[in-house]
Structure 1
């Protein structure tokens, strides 16, 4: 698969989800209920996952059309199926880790700010908890990159 297409499959959904999350964070700060914000963020993730899945299916169909006639039909089907499942796995890993990291930071950051405002010496300890929540999303991105490298 073309490396540009692979990069687009990873970066475009991430950019769309992060843009939606930033917009919803702004709306949540303006007074939007948390349940509605979470529902909108989840629906945005599912739409982006659907778009990425359709795009990945189109790309895998194009690759299947350009493969040589040496492969048997069963080998072609197994190759396309494993690539589609790998792309779906990478999208799910990134999205779910991003949602989990966002929930962790949403719970940890206000508590860290409150603790630091009461006792400035606790800033370092509270910063560790916020960084742990953010690392969940980074682990998801690393795993999805490993999955995509295995596919190519």
Structure 2
């Protein structure tokens, strides 16, 4: 089982993102330089022959990081909503379990009454059919 990663400090990441040069950024694969949308220098990476993966990563980070932060915040909100829904469902199930215990007790009272007086079964069935309460064990 893999360990759950620690939650990153989204506020700190957001602050660094907000402080950085506005994006989007673009990679110049000739000079391995990253520029902002106005053509201003942002960063330089190691010179390579052809497209530089580091320059591509750096350029895309300016738009990827804010999107990832927004998505992480959305997921945190959704998890909180689901946890709240789960708590409500657990309370509803607890209520249903109580109802089931009460019905079981009512069935037990009916069985006791039937075992004491088999001829009283007709009276009991009539009460159940009309929704009248089943008498308690002491006959009330």
TM-score normalised to structure 2 length: 0.37
TM-score normalised to structure 1 length: 0.35
**Greater per-residue helix proportion:** 1
- Decide which structure has the larger Cα Rg and report it: 2
Structure with the bigger RCO (C-alpha within 8 Å, sep 6+) is 1
